[in-house]
Amino acid sequence: MALGFTYVFLMLGCTVGVNKQGSGPTHLASFSLDDSTTVDVLVSLGRDGLVFMNGKERILMRSGAGGGYSVPVFGGALVGEWMGGERKGVWRGVWVDSLRIKEYCVPLEISPFKKKSVRDNNVTHSVWDTDLGKLKMAQQGDSITATFLTSTGDYRYQAGEINPETSRFKIGGFDGIHLFSFEGTISQDSIKNGVFKSGTHYTTTWSGVGSTNNRVEWSATQAWRPQSKLLIEGINAEGEKEVWTRGRLRGSGYKVLVVDVMGTWCPNCMDESRLLRDLYEDYPEMVVVSVAFERFVGERALVRIADFKREMELPWSVLLGGVANKRIADSTLSFIGGIKSFPTTAFIPLEGELIVHSGFSGPATGESYEEEVVFFRNTIESLIQKSR
C-alpha cells in the first residue's frame, strides 16, 4: 500500500530536470516492486503529460497514443490507461524499461493524492556513513529528501518520509531508468535494518552510522598511462570510424579536448552531459567528444545514441565505443588508466599531462556538485591557458 507522504520539496542541490512544468492536480505514482514494497513518487498533471517530482527535480513524461506516456532521455514508456477519467480517475499499467536486453516491466498505479500541510518549518540535516555510500539527508517534520554519494557517482534525488513513532523511514525515486527504494530505522547514531531495492531485480541489506564528516574519503582524480597510445576512436552517426589523436587536436584549432566516457543508460552520465553542455559555449577553445558504451550493439546502439544526443541537445559528436563493460572501455581507451566508473572524463591539452576525472556527483548532492562545477571550470581554463 502506498504511504501517505507529506512531501516537502527540500533539496540538497539546485533544481534540474527535463521539464519544470507541472501545476495541475497532484497524484501519487506507486510502482510495485513486490508484494510488500512500492516506490511512491508525486506526479502533477501538466499540459503535455505527467510531471514526476523527485524532490525538486521535474521529469516530464509526454502523453502518447492510447493513454500511455513516453520516458525522456532513457526511452521506455508508461503503458496503460486511465480508469474513470484523467483528472479524477486512476491510471493503471506498467513502466517498460526499453534499455534492457530482456523484457522488464514494473506494475504502476497513478491515483489522486491530497498533500498534507507541513507545520514544522525546521529543517534538520544529517550525514551517515553507510554500506551504500555517504548518505546526506534533510528532514522537515516527517518529510525527507536525501541522496547517497559513492566513488562512482550519486544515487540522485530521493524523497520520502519517516515515521516519528518508530523512526522507520522510506525514501525512493524514479528518474526514468532507475527505480530505487531505501528503508531503514534510525536508532540514536545508527541506521539499522536497512533494505535497498533497485527495481524488481535487486535487493540487499544495509546499515549506517552517524558522521560529523561532510566530506567523502575518496578522490575522483586518477593517474593516466603516459606509455599508452593516446587514441580515441569510435563509430559516428554515419556508421564510420572516427579517430581523435593529439595530432588531430593540434590541427583543429582547439586547445583542449574533453573526452566524456559514458553510456546513454547512465543517469550520472546524463547529469555530467548537462554540465558539459552548459560549459560548452563558455569555452570556444574546447572541443568535446563523448564515447558511449552501450547495452546494445550495431545499428540499434547507433539509433539509441542518436536519440540521446537529440534529447540532450548535445552539440558535439557522440561515438559508439563498444558494449557497456568497464574492461572493454578500458581496453578501448587504455591511456585513461582504468575505467572505474561511467562517466569518466579525460581533459587533454595540446601538450603535457592529461587530467582524468572518475565518476560524477550530480545536482542532488548540493555542495559536492558545486565542487564538480568549479573543478570542471578550473581544469578547462588552466589547460587552455597552458596551451596558448
What is the extent of the structural domain holding 121? 7-212
Return per-residue pLDDT of the chain as tens, 388 residues: 333 333 333 333 333 334 444 455 689 999 999 999 999 999 999 889 999 999 889 999 999 878 899 999 999 999 999 998 766 799 999 999 999 988 999 999 999 987 665 567 899 999 999 999 999 999 999 999 999 999 999 999 999 999 999 999 999 999 999 999 999 999 999 999 999 999 999 999 999 999 998 888 888 999 999 999 999 999 999 999 999 999 999 999 999 999 999 999 999 999 999 999 999 999 999 999 999 999 999 999 999 999 999 999 999 999 999 999 999 999 999 999 999 999 999 999 999 999 999 999 999 999 999 999 999 999 999 999 999 8
Q: Which amino acid is at 212?
A: T
If asked whether residues 106 and 190 sit together in one domain, one would say yes
If asked whether residues 238 and 306 sit together in one domain, one would say yes
Is 1 inside any structural domain? no
If asked whether residues 47 and 65 sit together in one domain, one would say yes
* Domain limit, last residue, from 149, 183, 212: 212
* Domain limit, last residue, from 147, 177, 212: 212
If asked whether residues 14 and 145 sit together in one domain, one would say yes
What are the cell numbers at 52? 514526476
Is 89 inside any structural domain? yes
Region class of 32: left (phi > 0), else alpha (psi between -120 and 50), else beta:
beta
How far apart (Å, rounded) are the C-alpha atoms in residues 1 and 30? 8
247: domain CATH number is 3.40.30.10
If asked whether residues 134 and 48 sit together in one domain, one would say yes
The DSSP output letter for 154 is: B
If asked whether residues 207 and 230 sit together in one domain, one would say no
Is 326 inside any structural domain? yes
Is 299 inside any structural domain? yes
If asked whether residues 42 and 182 sit together in one domain, one would say yes
If asked whether residues 200 and 66 sit together in one domain, one would say yes
Is 358 inside any structural domain? yes
If asked whether residues 19 and 106 sit together in one domain, one would say yes
Is 360 inside any structural domain? yes
DSSP per residue, 347-388: EEESSS--EEEE----GGGTHHHHHHHHHHHHHHHHHHHHH-
287 close to 257: Cβ distance less than 8 angstroms: yes
How far apart (Å, rounded) are the C-alpha atoms in residues 327 and 367? 32
Is 2 inside any structural domain? no
Counting the structural domains of the chain, the total is 2
167 close to 186: Cβ distance less than 8 angstroms: yes
DSSP per residue, 307-357: HHHHHHT--SEEEEEEES-HHHHHHHTGGGS---SSSEEEEEESSS--EEE
If asked whether residues 225 and 201 sit together in one domain, one would say no
Pairing mode, strands 317-323 and 286-294: parallel
If asked whether residues 327 and 380 sit together in one domain, one would say yes
pTM assigned to the model: 0.92
* Domain limit, last residue, from 163, 179, 212: 212
Is 43 inside any structural domain? yes
The neighbouring-strand residues paired with 130 are 133, 208
If asked whether residues 187 and 254 sit together in one domain, one would say no
How far apart (Å, rounded) are the C-alpha atoms in residues 293 and 296? 9
